[in-house]
Every structure is written in C-alpha cells, then in structure tokens.
Amino acid sequence: MYRYKHTIGTFQLPYSGETSTEGRQSETLQSSSKSPNKVIHCGLTRAIYIYQTADLPSGSYVQTWGKRLIVSREMKVRHNDRGVKENFSSGEHKNIATLKQEKTLLKEAGIDRYLSKEIAPYPEAPEFHLSKVAHVTTKRGLDGILKSGGFKGGEKSFLWCNLPVDDDDIIAAECRYLEKIFPDRTPEQRQIQQPFLSKFTTSPAFRKASRFGNFRFTFSLSDLLMMYSQQICGGEEPVLRVYETVVYKQEIMYTVLVHSPDNKEFEKYPVLGDGSDDALCAYMRGNIVWRAQAMSKTHAFGLAIDEVNQNVGTEGGGMHGTCGTM
C-alpha cells in the first residue's frame, strides 16, 4: 500500500503483560498507566489505522434505518500484501443496504451468493462503544517489537489496530438496544428480560483469538490518542477520518484513520462523526462507536420482539446463514 523509507517520530505507550488462553495460547499485553517501567515506542511516520470487521450477511433480509441510502462511489478492486483480493471504497463506511447495490460486488460470485440468501431477523444496529485498541502479531513479530523497543514504521508507515469487543461491551450494547426500542419499560419488565445479543455475536470480531497471530498488544484508546497528541501532534488533538470500507468474500472491514493535524495528505477523507447521525462508525467521549449490522458467522435463532410485554428474545433453532471470514 503506502510506503515510506523513513520515520519522523517516536511514540511511547505504557503497557502491562498478561497471559490468556482460548483454544490456543495467546499473550495479551495490556496498556496501563500504573506500569511506567514498561513502555512501547511506536516509530510512526504518518498515521494509525483503527479497524473493525463484520461478517458479510448471507441473506436478503436487510435492516434499513436513517435517511441516507446513497451509492456515492463504485467500489474498486486490489490485492493486499498477502495477495488477498479486496473490494474497497475510500472515504466512506458503506452500510449493508448500500453494499447490496454495488455492481462490483454483484459480479463477485462468492459475495453475491451470500448477499442473496434468506436469513432470519437479527438485532438492528446495536451500538457498541469500544474503549480499547489492539495490535495482533506472531511470535516473530512480538520478538521484533520487544527487541527494538516498540512499533517502528520502517517502510510501512502505518500502525494497524483493531477494536476488541469483550463481554461487558456486548452487555452494554444490549442495554442501549433495549432502551432505544423500549424506553418506557417498567422495573418488572427490565428484571425479567433475558440476555439475547450474545447469541448473535459469533463473528470473529467478538473472539479473543485471532488468525493474525497469538500475541496481542492492547491499549486504552484514550491513552493512545492522548500520547499520540503529546508526542506526535505537538499537543494538538489528532484527527480521526473515515478511511475505507473493504469487502472480502465473507467479511467487511471498516477503517478509521488517525493522523496529526499538520499532515495535510489525508484531507480528502471525511472527518469521523461524533455519533449524532446514523453513521456506522463515530468517535464519542473517548470511544469508537460501532453500529454493527453483521455480527454473526452463523446464528441458530431469529430475533423475537414482543411489543406488548416490551421484551426481546429469540425464536427458532435452525442455522441461519453460513457467514465466515477469510
């Protein structure tokens, strides 16, 4: 993608070490301001990418909301550094309804097959407020990071981070969803409500394990932006922009770009919103807001909304959809 042969800054992040296991062993290096002796240096030349992925929904059931349904640009095709084909659109985060109208995607046999299937109803755009970012790597990458003292841009001048989602994030998103559709529930109705959102969150975006490696550096997003501001931006606030929508055979990736306000190279990309509209991604009070549309690799239930009793549950037991990831 973009490549520079020099670095122009060193960015430091504190972290603490923690080991966890899920299927295979993985080590998580958590950020912590209480551990000043452990510092990660990030030699960043241009920007940080923060991304979130979702499964491509395998069905024609489309949840639509808001006032915008505009295909502003046709998607283009490229191959990434791993040789994987990517359908991408720069400067916008396209929702599922918009992607279903993309001529480029409809020509892709595998993607078209997933977009045209029938699936059961699922929760409409639950809102996740995500406060952490993570960088996943292999053992070789971990050794290189620790040996060199941190992340260094080198020829690749971007740092890629994803947004991990934990159980508390799912519970909080479920509460927001319920308050949105049933704001006037009684205390008794709130008490009898059973968890349901976790049954739909089977996408790899919700797993602790990663196909990109067994070792994960996890940082507070607020810490990341604060230190980036102090050490790269001269005390000014970093700029967050809508960078890309990337569609793989069975996966969608939304990317947010973070850069110094002195860097004018990325001005063509829209500034990330504050959550006041219906955009898929936003930045609000130290969190990335993700209004998820496709959360399931497969789900064995359909969403059941009881309007009379103001209760949400699930129904059915057959497998709906066969979505997965690359």
pLDDT tens for 146-158 read: 887 777 654 456 7
**Confidence band, pLDDT 50/70/90 cuts, at residue 118:** low
> Which pLDDT belongs to residue 299?
59
Give the pLDDT confidence score for residue 46 in this predicted structure. Answer: 57
Contact 257, 165 (CB under 8 A): no
pLDDT tens per residue across span 250-263: 788 899 999 999 98
Q: Is residue 324 part of a domain?
A: no
Q: What pLDDT does 55 receive?
A: 62
Whether residue 19 is contained in a domain is answered as: yes
pLDDT of res. 113: 66
The answer to whether residue 4 is domain-embedded is no
Rounded to two decimals, the pTM is 0.78
Mean pLDDT of 279-285: 94
- Asked whether residue 1 is assigned to any structural domain, the reply reads no
Pick the residue with more confidence: 145 or 282?
Answer: 282
Residue 317: what pLDDT?
Answer: 54
Q: Which range marks the domain in which residue 109 is found?
A: 11-315
Q: So what's the pLDDT on residue 60?
A: 29
Q: What is the domain count for the chain? A: 1
pLDDT of residue 169: 95
Q: pLDDT at position 137, please?
A: 86
**Is 67 a residue whose pLDDT tops 80?**
no
* Contact of 247 with 111, CB cutoff 8 Å: yes
**Does residue 204 fall inside a structural domain?**
yes
Average pLDDT, the chain: 75
**CB-neighbour burial class of residue 200 (10 A; exposed 0-12, middle 13-18, buried 19+):** buried
The closest of 28, 35, 29 to 14, measured between CA atoms, is 35
What is the predicted pLDDT for the residue at 221?
93
Burial class (CB in 10 A: 0-12, 13-18, 19+), 124: middle
What is the C-alpha separation between 171 and 179, in angstroms, rounded? 12
- Report if residue 178 sits inside a domain: yes
Q: Which helix (H) or strand (E) holds 145?
A: helix 139-148
Residue 145 pLDDT class (50, 70, 90 cuts)? confident
CA distance 288 to 273: 10
| Phi, psi (rounded to 5 degrees) for 14 | -75, 150
Whether residue 2 is contained in a domain is answered as no
CA nearest neighbour of 151 among 50, 309, 7, 247? 7
Q: Which of 13, 237, 275 is nearest to 132 (CA)?
A: 13
Tell me the torsion sign for CA atoms 24, 40, 81, 154: negative
If DSSP states are collapsed to H, E and C, what string results for 24-58?
EEEEEEECCCCCCCCEEEEECCCEEEEEEEEECCC
Residue 283 counted as domain residue: yes
